[in-house]
């Protein structure tokens, strides 16, 4: 529990009880912003020994003594204790404060205030303590509110990323979750601050300061003014640490409410991590956010290598190979569950044996796994793609064995994972390639299964898939081959396989007849019936191209 919130010396002097005493600031007027933690009244010469620091000390001056040396020592001991201010009531002991008191307070930078009229010290104490209590309750209410919001996020199915983003918005500063050994698991930046929208940019620079900080006090692992709160639950012992919640004052100073709210949020995070075992998943989701930001051009090619190094990716001087695995939406599992943590762990273990540096992330909303692979030369593309694809598929089978039936067959929204391999390039090119691969992977979900798809062979399918997303593809298919589809619903033999074989063999009738196991005359009759149904000339090149596209487009329709 943090110390109660403080008011300042200036605020205390504005309250009615002290204002009635006609206060006059004699020294250190620039120190009136000091926080007042408590109020104490006393007259003994040794009162400094009773204080802890931050007090507003009220006295009539009896304890000051009569000799200059005693007075200087009295003020010096109070300054060493770190009190907020010394307030002396004139009248019973002094009509004016001795020069030794004033000079010593001035030399030590201690705010010294004299009251020209008598005031009841108990009224001053009650008034300031009431102000402190009200501020403390206000702090508790703010901490309770952010805790309530975080709890609601969790009840709605949100996980650690959503909670951290909410807390970053509350603190208006970047927030990080790191493992007990200091590995970054997830980062969230405050909304509305473009300079801090990507917290990875501040993490690496501040990390060195955190590691070099002296191990003293609750913020020992963070730079000055930061909040570091341990998330319990990493082992059997009562003091075991699973992770640390770190709030850095990159945009502005942190207040006591931020520590109190962080402590309560850490307890909630402990429950989430205990339930979902999310550490590896969070790291993968953080990398997935980085790769998505790179694809959406929210990270520049100049900044990307440094941020990738923060995430542990050091590909060397060779080119980069972007890839995307699209998971079947029919078996996508709840956000934040054990299944996702198991998948993230299995992916890490399988890819460790690939023999190339890999930066892999997960994107749960899109059921997508983007990754970058460092290769030594462009001609290694196919060989590396084979190894990585094998690791990706093995990880899915290991992590989700109970989904094997759904993963084993093709369907409109199910089937095995789809892996699409892009073109190698540098940091200036892989962002756009990742964005292109994401769309290509969605289009490839409806295609026959292959170990992996070369993005260069998906361009037509991607074009057709995009037409479908805009509502134009079904109309195109119906216009081109609708009569043929209607015929095949009721008549036999169906004519669609004949048209598909004819176009696949580029109009070569002998090869088409052999594939269909019919004689030439039967094929001629079928082609003539197709031409009449469609009102098309099957020898006209533009018509053949349009019919081929229509047949291919059928794969992308429900």
Residue 335 has a pLDDT of 45
pLDDT top residue among 8 and 276: 8
Residue 415 has a pLDDT of 64
What digits encode the pLDDT tens for the residues 327-368? 876 554 444 445 666 777 788 778 888 888 999 888 877 788
pTM for the predicted model, two decimal places: 0.51
Span 294-317, average pLDDT? 88
What digits encode the pLDDT tens for the residues 309-327? 888 888 888 999 999 998 8
What digits encode the pLDDT tens for the residues 102-154? 999 999 999 999 999 988 888 888 888 887 777 767 667 777 788 888 888 77
Q: Please, which pLDDT band fits residue 233 given cuts at 50, 70 and 90?
A: confident
Residue 405 has a pLDDT of 46
**Residue 544 to residue 348: CA distance in whole angstroms:** 47
DSSP SS3 for 341? helix
Residue 535 has a pLDDT of 81
For residue 2, pLDDT over 80 is answered with: no
| Least confident segment among 60-64, 106-110, 446-450, 464-468 | 464-468
Residue 204 has a pLDDT of 67
Phi, psi of 298 (to 5 degrees): -85, -10
Q: Check: CB of residue 256 under 8 Å from CB of residue 263.
A: no
| Least confident segment among 190-199, 389-398, 483-492, 535-544 | 190-199
Share of the chain above pLDDT 70, in %: 84
Residue 413 has a pLDDT of 42
pLDDT top residue among 78 and 199: 78
| Least confident segment among 155-164, 357-366, 379-388, 424-433 | 155-164
Which architecture, in CATH terms, is 297-469?
Answer: 2-Layer Sandwich (3.30)
**Residue 196 to residue 288: CA distance in whole angstroms:** 18
CATH code at 7-129: 3.40.1390.20
Which architecture, in CATH terms, is 157-276?
Answer: 2-Layer Sandwich (3.30)
Boundaries of every domain in the chain: 7-129, 157-276, 297-469, 473-556
For residue 38, pLDDT over 50 is answered with: yes
For residue 469, pLDDT over 70 is answered with: no
- The residues with which 454 forms a beta bridge, in sequence order, are 421
Q: Check: CB of residue 19 under 8 Å from CB of residue 48.
A: no
Look at domain 473-556 and name its CATH class.
mainly alpha
Residue 287 has a pLDDT of 86
Residue 209 has a pLDDT of 53
Q: Please, which pLDDT band fits residue 225 given cuts at 50, 70 and 90?
A: confident
Contacts for 235 with CB less than 8 Å, ≥ 6 apart: none
DSSP SS3 for 328? coil
Residue 139 has a pLDDT of 67
Span 178-204, average pLDDT? 74
For residue 278, pLDDT over 70 is answered with: no
What burial class does residue 489 get, using C-beta atoms within 10 Å of its C-beta: 0-12 exposed, 13-18 middle, 19+ buried? exposed
Q: Please, which pLDDT band fits residue 159 given cuts at 50, 70 and 90?
A: confident
Span 250-266, average pLDDT? 82
């Amino acid at each position: 529990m943090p110390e109660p919130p403080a008011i300042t010396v200036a605020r205390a002097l504005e309250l009615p009880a002290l204002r009635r005493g006609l206060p006059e600031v004699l020294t250190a007027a620039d120190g009136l912003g000091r926080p007042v933690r408590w109020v104490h009244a006393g007259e003994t010469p040794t009162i400094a020994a009773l204080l802890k620091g931050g007090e507003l000390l009220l006295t009539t001056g009896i304890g000051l003594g009569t000799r200059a040396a005693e007075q200087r020592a009295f003020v010096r001991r109070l300054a060493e204790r770190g009190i907020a201010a010394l307030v002396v009531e004139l009248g019973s002991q002094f009509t004016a404060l001795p020069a030794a008191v004033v000079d010593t307070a001035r030399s030590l930078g201690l705010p010294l205030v004299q009251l020209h009229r008598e005031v009841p010290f108990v009224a001053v104490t009650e008034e300031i303590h009431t102000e402190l209590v009200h501020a403390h309750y206000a702090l508790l209410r703010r901490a309770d509110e952010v805790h309530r919001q975080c709890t609601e996020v969790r009840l709605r199915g949100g996980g650690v990323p959503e909670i951290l983003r909410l807390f970053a918005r509350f603190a208006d500063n970047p927030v990080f979750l790191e493992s007990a050994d200091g590995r970054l698991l997830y980062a969230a930046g405050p909304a509305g601050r473009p300079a801090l929208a990507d917290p990875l940019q501040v993490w690496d620079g501040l990390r060195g300061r955190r590691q070099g900080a002296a191990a003293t006090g609750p913020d020992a692992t963070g730079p000055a003014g930061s909040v570091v709160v341990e998330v319990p639950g990493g082992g059997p012992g009562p003091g075991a640490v699973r992770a640390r919640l770190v709030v850095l004052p990159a945009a502005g100073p942190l207040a006591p409410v931020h520590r109190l709210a962080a402590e309560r949020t850490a307890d909630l995070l402990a429950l989430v991590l205990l339930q979902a075992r999310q550490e590896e998943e969070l790291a993968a989701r953080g990398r997935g956010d980085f790769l998505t930001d790179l694809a959406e051009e929210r990270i520049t090619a100049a900044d990307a290598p440094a941020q990738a190094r923060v995430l542990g990716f050091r590909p060397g001087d060779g080119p980069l190979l972007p890839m995307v695995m699209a998971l079947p939406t029919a078996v996508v599992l709840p956000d934040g569950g054990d299944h996702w943590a198991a998948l993230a762990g299995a992916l890490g273990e399988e890819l460790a044996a690939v023999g190339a540096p890999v930066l892999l992330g997960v994107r749960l909303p899109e059921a997508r796994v983007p990754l970058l692979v460092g290769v030594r030369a462009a001609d290694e593309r196919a060989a590396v793609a084979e190894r990585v694809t094998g690791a990706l598929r093995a990880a899915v089978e290991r992590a989700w064995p109970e989904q094997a039936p759904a993963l084993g067959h093709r369907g409109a929204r199910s089937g095995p994972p789809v892996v699409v391999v892009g073109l190698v390039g540098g940091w200036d090119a892989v962002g756009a390639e990742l964005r292109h691969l994401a769309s290509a992977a969605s289009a490839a979900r409806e295609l026959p299964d292959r170990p992996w798809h070369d993005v260069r062979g998906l361009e037509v399918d991607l074009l057709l898939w995009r037409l479908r997303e805009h509502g134009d593809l079904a109309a195109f298919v119906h216009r081109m081959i609708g009569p043929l589809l209607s015929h095949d619903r009721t008549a036999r033999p169906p004519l669609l396989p004949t048209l598909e074989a004819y176009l696949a063999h580029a109009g070569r009738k002998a090869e088409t007849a052999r594939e269909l196991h019919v004689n030439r005359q039967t094929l001629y009759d079928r082609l003539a019936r197709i031409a009449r149904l469609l009102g098309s000339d099957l020898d006209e090149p533009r018509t053949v191209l349009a019919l081929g596209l229509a047949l291919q487009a059928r794969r992308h329709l429900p």
